[in-house]
Homo-oligomer: A and B are copies of this chain.
Amino acid sequence: MEKEVKVIFEPSGRTVHVLPGTIMLEAAARAGFIIHSPCGGAGKCGKCQVRVQAGKCAPNAPEAAALGEVRVAEGWRMACQARITGPITVEIPDTSLFQAQQQILTQDAGGELHLQPRVRKQYVQLPIPGQHDAGTDLDRLRAAVGPFQASLPAVRELPGALRSANFKVTAVLVDDELIGVEPGDTMAACFGIAFDIGSTTLVGTLVNLATGVDIAVAARVNPQTSFGDDVVSRIQKCRTDPKGLAQLQTAVLDGVNKIVDELLRKTSLDRSRVYEIVFAGNTTMQEILCGIDPSALGELPFVPAFREALECHAADLHLHVNPQAKVYVFPQIGGFVGGDTVAGIVATRLDRSSAPSLLVDIGTNGEIVLFANGTLWATSVAAGPAFEGARIANGMRAAAGAIEKILLDGDVRINVIGNVKPAGLCGTGLIDVAAEMLRMGILDITGRIQSAAEVPDTISAALKARLVEAENGEVNFLLVSGAESATKEPLYLYQRDLRELQLANGAIRAGINILLRTAGLQASDLGSVLLAGAFGNFIRRNHARRIGMLPPIPCSRIRFVGNTASFGAKRALLSTEEKNYAARLVDAVRHVDLSLDPEFQMEFGSAMILPDHELDGCGED
């Protein structure tokens, strides 16, 4: 087995370890940087340029041709072409990042997408009323900015704003509605926030609506997690506790407002200049956010309250922005296929892929969307919170102290987030250790940890010593001794932890298999598998395949696409056409409800069995 090498990305200094041969674009994605690649990685457009600051990386022929001798000598490479061969430090210039206006304006496959925000500001200098010009304030404003409907709060602001600023004001319009009138010229201050509302994590991105440029990003743990880790526990709380919905709504809105406060504090912007907020989340999160009782999502046949996008005003949700700001909550497909999935399709343009493509968002729920032959199918599976570290004895979230990477060779080698002593195991580490144990024959295909006596002779004495038999006869695997751990307690991987992993793993794979079968496809027909979500970004692709979570296709076809919910939300925030696209997607998607599918249990059972052999084409990762 090849040894992974360290890649440092500047200017952030973010670091990842990848196997030699990994394409730079993928390594960057693993570190959370989505690099601009409009030509699809064909080495033609030259938009994905990065610069090698330290370490070696030989240019290939397309790079030499596209960049020229001087640029190549300066260390510039194309991220879609350059392969990691050894430890390296790479600078990613802002202009190469897949975000902000540049991307919004150019990335659309059809080439027709524009920055088209529903919020419009217009500075006007109105004639001052006089003897033969005593028309109403509203008509005076309309004469300058064109027809609009006026909201009551805007009419309230109007007379004072006009007279305090000598009739020079900035009108704030959302679609064809006047929502505010600001004294003087405030054209430069026009902002919106795109939110990804995850069961576990809330992410907000403050965006300049006039330019499409990101201003700031902030994230927090969803305060609802104190009421339960997964959506099922939160739905249950709403079903059993009369105050449950109100408590959960207050919790998430509190988290959202803390992010808003942080974004505005960081940027010293006035909260009254935030005119739109877009939310994308799963059905349960979106319904609770809006104060809609999600109880019907807790019983068959899992009925959401709404399908189309919901709109209201910021004041309706007590958000800490302009009270008249428009709130747009993503449309949702059904059951547990929510607005985050729709946003994911908007972000990835899945339905414009040339070959059959799969979008997999792995979280407590796994949402899976397949596009093939002009049709979209979507489903969701209950993966459980194993990947978030819950229900794993020594599990934890991917935070400082979490073992996020594990290699087995002569002994156990770990990478800990934050370079501190290990305190627990996060999802990627769990997948790593399972894949490695399976590879070495320490784990059998039923998911049982072998005893030291049962393992192959090739296993080192050091590893054998870690196989500790418990009183119930099960074997547990010692990851970290008490002397090395942050807690001074030894960290074990327990047999029952692997059962949790098998459940999560089996659910996702069964979902993928059923969608493929519904479309009449084989796994090998897939042109690409897009892994979305914060977790998906850090998974080792070969390990995900090794344990059977992903079907056996070449790693080169598996791509990390980052936080698509957040990016899709930003796209919708910046363009009415993107909102219309989301609405069309919801009408077009075929919702495959696995809770009602008799084949799902069978498929799930099969997918619980781990693959018995290493697959081809894993060397890339």
* Chain A residues near B (Cβ < 8 Å): 129-139, 150-152, 155-156, 158-160, 163, 290-296, 300-308, 310-312, 316, 334-335, 593, 596
> B residues within 8 A CB of A316?
152
Would you call A137 and B303 a contact (CB within 8 A)? yes
Known: A131-B596, A163-B296, A596-B131. A303 touches B136 (CB 8 A): yes
Residue of B nearest to A137 (CB): B305
Q: Are A136 and B301 in contact (CB under 8 A)?
A: no
Q: Which residues of B contact A310 (CB under 8 A)?
A: 150, 152, 155
Q: A295-B163, A310-B152, A316-B152 are in contact. Are A135 and B290 (CB under 8 A)?
A: no
How far apart sit A135 and B301, CA to CA, in the bound complex (Å)? 9
Q: Which of B163, B293, B294, B334 contacts A135 (CB 8 A)?
A: B334
Please determine whether A593 and B302 come into contact, CB atoms closer than 8 angstroms: no
Q: Which of B136, B163, B290, B296 contacts A156 (CB 8 A)?
A: B290
The reply to whether B334 and A136 contact each other, CB–CB distance below 8 Å, is yes
Complex interface: chain B residues within 8 A of A307 (CB)? 135-136, 138-139
7 A-B residue pairings within 8 Å (CB atoms): A134-B334, A138-B305, A155-B305, A156-B291, A159-B296, A160-B295, A163-B295
* Chain B min CB distance to A116 (Å): 22
Which residues from B are CB-within-8-Å of A150? 306, 310
Closest 5 CB pairs of A and B: A134-B301, A152-B312, A136-B307, A138-B306, A137-B305
| Assembly CA distance A154 to B132 (angstroms) | 47
A408 to B158, CA, bound (A): 54
Specify how many copies of this chain sit in the oligomer: 2
Verify B155–A306 contact, CB threshold 8 A: yes
Q: A135-B307, A136-B334, A137-B306 are in contact. List 20 more A-B contacts (CB 8 A).
A: A129-B301, A130-B301, A134-B301, A134-B302, A134-B334, A134-B335, A134-B596, A136-B306, A137-B303, A138-B305, A152-B310, A152-B312, A155-B290, A155-B306, A156-B292, A158-B305, A159-B293, A159-B294, A159-B303, A160-B295
State the Cβ distance, A331 to closest chain B Cβ, in Å: 10
What residue in chain B is nearest A308 (Cβ atoms)? B138
Find the B residue at minimum CB distance from A303: B129
* Interface pair A155/B301, CB less than 8 Å apart: no
**Bound state CA distance, A137 and B311, in angstroms?**
17
Interface centre among A159, A160, A163, A293 (most CB of B within 10 A): A159
Q: Given the complex, which residues of B lie within 8 Å of A334, measured CB to CB?
A: 134-136
Determine if B301 and A137 form an interchain contact, defined as CB atoms under 8 angstroms apart. no
* Residues of B contacting A596 in the complex (Cβ-Cβ under 8 angstroms): 131-132, 134
Contacts of A291 in B (CB 8 A): 152, 156
A290–B152 touching, CB < 8 Å: yes
> Given the complex of chains A and B, what is the CA–CA distance between A316 and B150 in angstroms?
15
Chain B residues within 8 Å of A303, by CB: 129, 134-137, 159
Contact for A159 among B137, B300, B301, B305, CB less than 8 A: B305
Contacts of A158 in B (CB 8 A): 292, 305
Cα(A138)–Cα(B292), bound, Å: 12
- Chain B residue with minimal CB distance to A317? B152
Identify the interface centre among A302, A303, A316, A593: most chain B CB within 10 Å of its CB. A303
The reply to whether B159 and A295 contact each other, CB–CB distance below 8 Å, is yes
The interface residues of chain B lying within 8 Å CB-to-CB of A133 are: 301
Tell me the nearest residue of chain B to A130, going by C-beta. B301
CA distance A131 to B136 in the complex (A): 58
Residues of B within 8 A of A296 (CB): 129, 137, 159, 163
**Contact, CB under 8 Å: B129 / A305:** no
A160-B304 contact given A136-B334, A155-B310, CB 8 Å threshold = no
Q: B residues within 8 A CB of A302?
A: 134
A315's nearest neighbour on chain B, judged by CB, is B316
From B136, B308, B335, A304 is in contact (CB under 8 Å) with B136
Q: Which residue of B lies closest to A292 (CB)?
A: B156
Q: Give the distance in Å from the alpha carbon of A131 to the alpha carbon of B155 in the complex.
A: 50
Kindly list chain B residues whose C-beta atoms are within 8 Å of the C-beta of A137.
Answer: 296, 303-306
Q: Provided the pairs A152-B310, A308-B138 are in contact, do residues A159 and B292 lie with their beta carbons within 8 angstroms? A: yes
